[in-house]
Amino acid sequence: MGDLVNLRQARKQRARDEKERLAAENRKRFGRGKLERTREAAEHRRKEAVLDGARIDRPEKPGA
């Protein structure tokens, strides 16, 4: 005699498995690794520093 299977639980498990498969596929397709994120953050900080260093502070107008 075969094992008894609760159809509701089997359906939910199948849905969870499909959701996990889709999530793994999306991580593979769209995800970035830690190295890429840190490299991008460092590049962003460097660009901000260059822009801040090139900023020209204009003297305030008297009476303004």
Residue-wise pLDDT tens digits, 17-43: 999 999 999 999 888 888 998 999 999
Q: For residue 13, which of 4, 21, 25 has the smallest C-alpha distance? A: 21
The verdict on residue 2 lying in a domain is no
The verdict on residue 64 lying in a domain is no
Instruction: Pick 40 or 60 by higher pLDDT.
Output: 40
Range of the domain at 42: 7-52
The verdict on residue 38 lying in a domain is yes
Q: What is the DSSP string of the chain?
A: -PPP--HHHHHHHHHHHHHHHHHHHHHHHH---HHHHHHHHHHHHHHHHHHHHTPPPPPPPTT-
Count of structural domains, the chain: 1
Q: Say what the pTM is.
A: 0.48
